[in-house]
Amino acid sequence: MRRGSYLFTSESVSEGHPDKVCDRISDAVVDTFLSHGPDSRVAVETLCTTNRIVLAGETRGPAKVTAELLEDVARHCVRDIGYEQNGFHWRDALVENYIHEQSADIAKGVDPAGNKDEGAGDQGIMFGFACDETPEYMPAPLYYAHNILKSLAEARHSGAEPELMPDAKSQVTLEYVEGKPVRTTSIVVSTQHTEKVDTDTIRELVRPHVVNVLPEGWMCPEDEFFVNPTGRFVIGGPDGDCGLTGRKIIVDTYGGAAPHGGGAFSGKDPTKVDRSAAYAARYLAKNVVAAGLAAKCTIQLSYAIGISRPLSVYVDTHGTGQVDEDKLGLTLRELMDLSPRGIREHLHLSRPIYARTAAYGHFGRTPDPDGGFSWERLDLVDDLKRAFGAA
Confidence class of residue 204 from pLDDT cuts 50, 70 and 90? very high
252-262 per-position pLDDT tens digit? 999 999 999 98
Q: Are residues 9 and 156 in the same domain?
A: yes
Neighbouring CB atoms inside 10 A of 249's CB total: 19
Residue 227 included in any domain:
yes
Per DSSP (E only), the strands in 211-253 are 225-227, 243-244
Q: Does some domain include residue 295?
A: yes
Looking at the structure, tell me whether residues 144 and 229 fall in a common domain.
Answer: yes
CA atoms 209, 167, 251, 228: torsion sign:
negative
pLDDT, tens digit (0-9, with 9 covering 90-100), for 78-88: 999 999 999 99
Do 9 and 155 fall within a single domain?
Answer: yes
Question: Could you tell me if 368 and 278 lie in one domain?
Answer: yes
Average pLDDT (4-9) is 93
Residue 324 forms part of a structural domain: yes
CATH number, residue 369: 3.30.300.10
Looking at the fold, whether 158 and 9 belong to one and the same domain comes out as: yes
- Domain boundary residue among 179, 205, 235? 235
Tell me if 64 is assigned to some domain. no
* Three-state SS at 209: helix
Q: Which residues are annotated as a binding site for K(+)?
A: 45
The number of domains in the chain is 2
Domain boundary among 235, 251, 283: 235
pLDDT of residue 117: 65
Residues tagged in the binding site annotation for L-methionine: 58, 102, 241, 272
> With a threshold of 0.85, does the pTM exceed it?
yes
Q: Which of 235, 262, 291 is the last residue of a domain?
A: 235
Are residue 128 and residue 164 in the same domain, yes or no? no
Reported as a single tens digit per residue, the pLDDT across 82-119 is 999 999 999 999 999 999 998 766 666 666 655 556 77
Residues contributing to the annotated binding site: 17, 19, 45, 58, 102, 167-169, 232-233, 241, 247-248, 264, 268, 272
The reply to whether 308 and 372 lie within a common domain is: yes
Domain with 337 in it: 124-132+273-387
Based on the domain organization, do 189 and 145 belong to the same domain?
yes
Within this chain, do residues 286 and 219 fall inside the same structural domain, yes or no?
no
The whole-number pLDDT of residue 14 equals: 98
Enumerate residues 6+ apart whose C-beta is below 8 A from 114.
Answer: none
pLDDT band at 36 (very low <50, low <70, confident <90, very high): very high
Residues in the chain: 391
Q: Are strands 164-177 and 180-193 parallel, antiparallel or unpaired?
A: antiparallel
By the 8 A CB rule, do 246 and 266 touch? yes
- Write out pLDDT tens, residues 119-157: 777 789 999 999 999 999 999 999 999 999 999 999 999
Q: Is the pLDDT of residue 68 over 60?
A: yes
Q: Which residues are annotated as a binding site for Mg(2+)?
A: 19
Is 231 part of a structural domain of the chain? yes
The binding site for ATP consists of 17, 167-169, 232-233, 241, 247-248, 264, 268
Check whether residue 330 and residue 349 sit in a common domain. Answer: yes
Classify residue 56: in a domain, yes or no.
no
Residues 6+ apart with CB under 8 A from 309: 338, 339
| Amino acid found at 135 | P
Tell whether 277 and 303 lie within a shared domain: yes
Residue 305 has pLDDT above 90, yes or no: no
Rounded to whole angstroms, how far apart are CA atoms 282 and 238? 31
Task: Report if residue 359 sits inside a domain.
Answer: yes
Identify whether 298 is part of a domain. Answer: yes
Residues 153 and 9 in one domain: yes
